[in-house]
Amino acid sequence: MKRINDNIIIALLGVVLGVLVTMVAYKALEPKRKFDGDYNRWRKLNLILQEVERNYVDTIDMDGMTDAAVVAALAKLDPHSVYLPPVELEESETELAGNFEGIGITFNVPNDTAVVISPVQGGPSEKAGLLQGDRIIFVDDKNIAGVKMPQDSMIRLMKGPKGSKVKITVNRDGTLIPFDIIRDKIPVHCVDAAFMIDETTGYIKLSKFTRTTYKEFSEASKKLMDMGMKRLIFDLRDNTGGYFDQSWKLANEFLEKDDQVVYMEGRHRKREYFDADGRGSMKDIEISVLIDEGTASSSEIFSGAIQDNDRGIIVGRRSFGKGLVQEPINFTDGSGIRLTVSRFYTPSGRCIQKPYDGDYQYDIYERYTNGEMTSADSMKVDTTAVYYTVKGRKVYGGGGIIPDVFVPIDTTRATKFHITCNRKATSMRFASAMFDKYKGSLSGISDFDTLVSYLGGLDLEHQFLDYASGVDGLRPAAGEWEQSKEYMLPQIYGLVGRYSKVGEEAFYRFYLPIDETIQTAKRSVWFHR
């Protein structure tokens, strides 16, 4: 589900979770192709750059000029063929690696100061003594608090190679405390939550397809099956993709032998089919897949395989529509490009890539303006491109996966008060204040039922309204709170609950009862061929 506020920063070891990764790594485990000098087709460009370097009147940044030329050339292609300078390439690869090197913390920035939500268990920060609620003031000798430092800059300061030392100075209850931390490899988890909704229904939220996705999913699903899971609600909303092989492996868990998962084809790439081997452990588990406009790439491969094989139902809104396959090509200077080499097709033959001859970046905004987010009848469907599932159901191509069951965005609870609180990150900052107030108790709670009972006794509703009024000067107009509280309170409880040992899972558990997409999936009739 979408988070309550864009100011929420989740950073493990200094890497932002949720960075848009709309690429599919073609074959994740193959060595990356190096390109170090065959410039025959770029002769004209080389000559121009040489003449500029030799004869231009002023001193210039030749590296920057070269990069600009490459960016301009790739801009003539599709939106996903991109050039990545060394820093961006490193961050992109790190984000999908499943582990990276840094200090190992989860933090947010509610008031222009990084607040530790939790140290990674067994990681360098925990070993050094950092605690929930610590305010990070200095990284080495650089002040990062109260100076409006960009969040990605904070992250870059904290991450670094394994074995290197960094001094983190925190404010703990008004006292500045320095910690010398030795950076190490830290795992990045892609399963945000995995728990039982009821006696037979499990829920798994997957944020992206990293190198460890299959392993994490297998462990989570086995735990739930051991608890009695017969049906899975698999949440791929806002999952922007990642490594293709991980999506293939997950689909394989649900499909029968020789069921097709996907095929790929390009001008210089022969058609290649990827089928299930029939050895999956979840072939008898009912599945409902949740998607929305943020579901892209490898997430769409999985969703398309489930839908076209009539293996389960797809619930939500039309997915992003990213059906292009990128191959990484790295340069010897640490930069690289991600070049589109193929299209992928769902088992029925659909290419779900949306058109990119218009205003590609504003497609999601257009979905709001044309009514698609609230009405299935306004959904953009290419009815001229009809395809058929295994059972003969009609499905359509040309711009994402069309859900079997449509769930509109709920706009009925939105009020000016709610919107303003989101813009000011009031709920997030309130959660941080509640942790400061109750951290002695919150820090020791590891059971969700205990957390529910404890938070229920704190009267968070009135404390939040007092905080919004006293700190931000926000007061709901007549009727506004009654209209919005059913939506806002679970989010507030979830944000506060994240500071307990229940962690990230608390947010999803508290939000679940008002999540209409999940509730619709529970009510929907499952089918299997």
The average pLDDT across 472-496 equals 94
Residue 259 shares a structural domain with residue 179: no
Q: Is the pLDDT of residue 1 over 80?
A: no
Q: Is the pLDDT of residue 506 over 70?
A: yes
Residue 237 shares a structural domain with residue 325: yes
CA dist 88 and 152 (Å) reads: 11
Residue 495 shares a structural domain with residue 472: yes
Q: Which residue has the higher pLDDT, 405 or 87?
A: 405
> Is there a domain that residue 55 lies in?
no
- Are 161 and 186 in contact, with CB atoms under 8 Å apart? no
CA dist 211 and 222 (Å) reads: 19
Q: Which range of residues forms the domain containing residue 139?
A: 11-18+98-187
Q: How confident is the model at residue 33 (pLDDT cuts 50, 70, 90)?
A: low
Q: Which residue has the higher pLDDT, 18 or 202?
A: 202
CA dist 528 and 311 (Å) reads: 5
Q: How confident is the model at residue 357 (pLDDT cuts 50, 70, 90)?
A: confident
Residue 490 shares a structural domain with residue 420: yes
Beta bridge partners of 180: 167
Residue 390 shares a structural domain with residue 303: yes
pLDDT of residue 356: 81
Residue 236 shares a structural domain with residue 378: yes
Cα 248 off chain centre by: 19
Average pLDDT, the chain: 86
Q: Is the pLDDT of residue 177 over 60?
A: yes
How many structural domains are present in the chain? 3
pLDDT of residue 237: 96
CATH code for the domain in which residue 112 is found: 2.30.42.10
> Is there a domain that residue 247 lies in?
yes
CA R_g for the chain: 24
Structure tokens at 413: 């609870």
pLDDT of residue 15: 27
pLDDT of residue 121: 67
Residue 107 shares a structural domain with residue 134: yes
pLDDT of residue 11: 31
> Is there a domain that residue 48 lies in?
no
Q: Is the pLDDT of residue 490 over 60?
A: yes
> Is there a domain that residue 358 lies in?
yes
- Are 121 and 157 in contact, with CB atoms under 8 Å apart? no
Name which of 317, 372, 371 is nearest 2 in CA terms.
317
- Are 167 and 138 in contact, with CB atoms under 8 Å apart? yes
Name which of 325, 380, 326 is nearest 355 in CA terms.
380
Structure tokens at 54: 């030799």
Residue 447 shares a structural domain with residue 505: yes
- Are 500 and 520 in contact, with CB atoms under 8 Å apart? no
pLDDT of residue 174: 85
- Residues of the chain with pLDDT > 90: what percent? 53
Q: Is the pLDDT of residue 39 over 80?
A: no
Q: How many CB atoms lie within 10 A of CB 477?
A: 10
Q: What is the 3-state secondary structure (H, E, C) of 429-458?
A: HHHHHHHHHHHHHHCCCCCHHHHHHHHHCC
What phi, psi does 118 have (nearest 5°)?
-165, 140
pLDDT of residue 137: 94
The average pLDDT across 77-95 equals 83
Tokens 């994740």 belong to: 28
Residue 366 shares a structural domain with residue 448: no
Of 106-110, 365-369, 392-396, the one with minimum mean pLDDT is 106-110
Q: Is the pLDDT of residue 301 over 90?
A: yes
Quick: pLDDT tens for 95-126. Answer: 677 667 889 887 878 777 888 877 876 688 88
CA dist 448 and 427 (Å) reads: 20
Report which residue type is found at 512: L
Q: Is the pLDDT of residue 264 over 70?
A: yes
> Is there a domain that residue 325 lies in?
yes
CATH code for the domain in which residue 289 is found: 3.90.226.10
> Is there a domain that residue 86 lies in?
no
State the DSSP string of 498-511.
TTSTTTHHHHHHHH
> Is there a domain that residue 32 lies in?
no
SS3 41: helix
Residue 271 shares a structural domain with residue 396: yes
Q: Is the pLDDT of residue 287 over 80?
A: yes
pLDDT of residue 41: 64
Of 23-27, 51-55, 291-295, 498-502, the one with minimum mean pLDDT is 23-27
Quick: pLDDT tens for 194-229. Answer: 999 999 999 999 999 998 999 999 999 999 999 999
Residue 400 shares a structural domain with residue 469: no
Report which residue type is found at 279: R
pLDDT of residue 42: 67
Measured CA to CA in angstroms, residue 399 lies from 5, 52, 75, 271, 402 at distances of 28, 43, 21, 21, 8
Quick: pLDDT tens for 116-166. Answer: 877 876 688 888 888 877 889 999 989 998 888 877 788 888 888 889 999
The average pLDDT across 380-385 equals 80
Q: How confident is the model at residue 5 (pLDDT cuts 50, 70, 90)?
A: very low
Q: Which residue has the higher pLDDT, 126 or 72?
A: 72
CA dist 439 and 443 (Å) reads: 6
Residue 433 shares a structural domain with residue 389: no
Q: How far apart are the first and last CA of the chain?
A: 29
